[in-house]
Amino acid sequence: METQSKIMLENAEYDRLSRRLERLNKEMALLVGPLYVRRNETGIFKMVDRSERYSYHVKDVLNAMHYDYITFWEAIDLHLYLNQSSELRRALNNYSQAISNNFYFIEQNNQQEVDRNKEIFQNKTVPFLIKKIEERYDQLDKDIKDLEDRLNIRKKA
């Protein structure tokens, strides 16, 4: 009876670790990985009004660069629920808020604030977001490798 209980506990722990590994792999594959791979592309991290991108989706299919931007951020938005990092969440929120602020200032015809906001966006907001993407990528990579080792899924280096 004692042996059976021990085996059941080991199985439960293995299942728990397997589910955790699956969750981390999903976060990496669907959210952090795409951000990490494209972190140095200026066409992805630019000021495009995110609220308007859906309404112009059909019209802009012909514009390949804008279409790429739209589909990339739609996929990121779709998979934001996978994010387990409060720091990355904060950086993504700051990025979105900076874009919203810019279009608010444009509507208000406040060119001074538009210019200031764009400078902050380029010099602080985007670099901070990229830093948090890289940090989360490194942490996920480490956590995934550790779990794979614990589950004996891959050979230890």
Q: How many domains does the chain have?
A: 1
pLDDT > 70 fraction of the chain, expressed in percent and rounded: 86
Which alpha helices (DSSP H) does 28-152 contain, by range? 33-37, 64-78, 86-107, 111-120, 126-150
- 67 found inside a domain: yes
- 36 found inside a domain: yes
pLDDT tens by residue, 7-48: 887 788 889 999 999 999 999 999 999 999 999 998 889 887
Give the pLDDT band of residue 125 (cuts 50, 70, 90).
very high
- With CA atoms as reference, report the closest residue to 147 among 8, 22, 32, 36: 22
- 157 found inside a domain: no
- With CA atoms as reference, report the closest residue to 133 among 99, 94, 100: 94
pTM for this prediction = 0.84
- 109 found inside a domain: yes
**Residue numbers of the domain that contains 33:** 2-150
Q: What is the phi/psi pair of residue 137, to 5°?
A: -60, -50
Averaged pLDDT for residues 96-111: 85
Q: In the prediction, which pLDDT does 134 show?
A: 98
- 91 found inside a domain: yes
Q: In the prediction, which pLDDT does 105 show?
A: 83
pLDDT for residue 128 is more than 90: yes
- 20 found inside a domain: yes
- 155 found inside a domain: no
- 156 found inside a domain: no
pLDDT tens by residue, 42-80: 888 988 765 555 545 555 555 666 778 888 998 999 999
